């Protein structure tokens, strides 16, 4: 497997880079946990190893946006069943609804994906099962003009990683390492699983 802490840290970075780029990666959809102890599966859109930042997309009206504004502590769990590797990260999150990062993420999204932000806000009550989308956009890709009102509901969730916990599950004995980042420098240690 891995012999050194540096190899593990590099593996974590490579797995997160792949998870953001490859929708078939088992780590593409991590569980994100906000400080209000609410958890949800989200899609990892980008990982920047230089700034240790994860990027995900969200709705400004989502309860997690208010939870992160009130308390930015956040955690994420990534798991690759085939490799038997779990990566847990902790850090601080922030919601950006405007600015260059949010604008670039919106521009890179397909119109079909953008249509999610046309509907009711996450958690809106309904008397029937619903996607929340306006009826005219059920299964239909809107054009750019129809999507103009959706942009105000779109935001990115940026998570700056402060620590990570790597666990390898093995029948011969699990192996675990932890890393913290202070001032851009990583410090790692082996720990008992």
Query: pLDDT tens across 20-63, in order?
Result: 999 999 999 999 999 999 999 999 999 999 999 999 999 999 99
> How wide is the angle at C-alpha 136 spanned by C-alphas 130 and 140, nearest 5°?
90
Contacts of 104 (CB under 8 A, 6+ apart): none
Tell me the two tokens of residue 33. Answer: 């946990």
Query: What CATH architecture does domain 5-191 belong to?
Result: Roll (2.30)
**105-120 b/e with 16+ CB inside 10 Å = b?**
bbeebeeeebbbbbbe
76 confidence band (pLDDT: 50, 70, 90): very high
In the chain, domain spans: 5-191
pLDDT tens readout for residues 26-38: 999 999 999 999 9
| pLDDT reported for residue 20 | 98
- Please tell me the pTM assigned to this model: 0.94
């Amino acid at each position: 497997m891995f012999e050194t802490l540096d190899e593990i840290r590099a593996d974590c970075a490579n797995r997160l880079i792949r998870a953001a780029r490859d929708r078939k990666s088992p780590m593409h959809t991590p569980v994100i946990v906000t400080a209000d102890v609410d958890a949800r599966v989200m899609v990892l859109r980008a990982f920047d190893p230089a700034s240790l930042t994860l990027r995900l997309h969200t709705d400004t009206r989502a309860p997690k946006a208010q939870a992160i504004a009130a308390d930015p502590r956040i955690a994420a769990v990534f798991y690759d069943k085939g490799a038997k590797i779990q990566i847990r990260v902790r850090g601080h999150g922030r919601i950006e609804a405007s600015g260059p990062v949010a604008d670039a993420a919106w521009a890179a999204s397909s119109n079909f994906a953008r249509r999610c932000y046309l509907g009711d806000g996450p958690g809106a009550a309904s008397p029937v099962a619903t996607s929340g989308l306006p009826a005219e956009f059920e299964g239909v890709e809107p054009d750019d003009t129809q999507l103009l009102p959706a942009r105000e509901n779109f935001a990115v969730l940026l998570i700056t990683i402060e620590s990570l916990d790597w666990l390898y599950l093995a029948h011969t004995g699990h192996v675990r390492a932890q890393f913290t980042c202070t001032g851009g420098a990583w410090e790692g240690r082996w720990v008992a699983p």
